[in-house]
Amino acid sequence: MYFIHYIQTYASVNRKGSELQSHILKFKDCLLKDRNALDDLKEEIHCRIEELDARYPRTQPLHFDAGNDSGRWYIHVKGKPDNLVCIISIAKVRNLLGKGIVSFPGKTRTERKDEEHILVCRGL
């Protein structure tokens, strides 16, 4: 399991960057079931960046740098790594505290077993 525990955003961004930041902030304090769910989230962010680049063609394209098994993902202006839009910090969950099963909102026990990936977010 993985946990998105911190998202750092930066104020000096344009409308495209602000839209991406508000989308990314939805994932703060999310628990990801496994590596596949983490990869799916990476792909979703990458697709969102491509969508925003197409919607705002007069702005510089964004770059998503997830690195190799890094605990941090960076989103910045392509070719300018110092011009950050946000940083996403992810931690691998080693243990869950408490008794019983993990409850995933909105799903019955059978549906939870059938899902390949589980993403639990506060407020979603």
Is residue 64 a contact partner of residue 49, using CB atoms and an 8 Å limit?
Answer: yes
Instruction: Sketch the domain layout of the chain as residue ranges.
Output: 2-120
DSSP string spanning 41-86? HHHHHHHHHHHHHHH-TTSPPEEEE-TTT-SEEEEEETTEEEEEEE
Structure confidence at residue 105 (pLDDT): 54
Structure confidence at residue 72 (pLDDT): 93
Structure confidence at residue 100 (pLDDT): 55
pLDDT tens column, 81-104? 999 999 999 999 887 776 555 555
User: What gap in Å lies between CA 60 and CA 70, rounded to an integer?
Assistant: 25
User: What gap in Å lies between CA 112 and CA 121, rounded to an integer?
Assistant: 15
DSSP state of 117: -
What is the residue-level pLDDT of the chain in tens, covering all 124 positions? 899 989 999 987 899 999 999 999 999 999 998 889 999 999 999 999 999 999 999 999 999 998 777 789 999 999 999 999 999 999 998 877 765 555 555 544 444 443 444 455 554 4
pTM of the model: 0.75
62-65 and 30-32 beta bridge pairing: unpaired
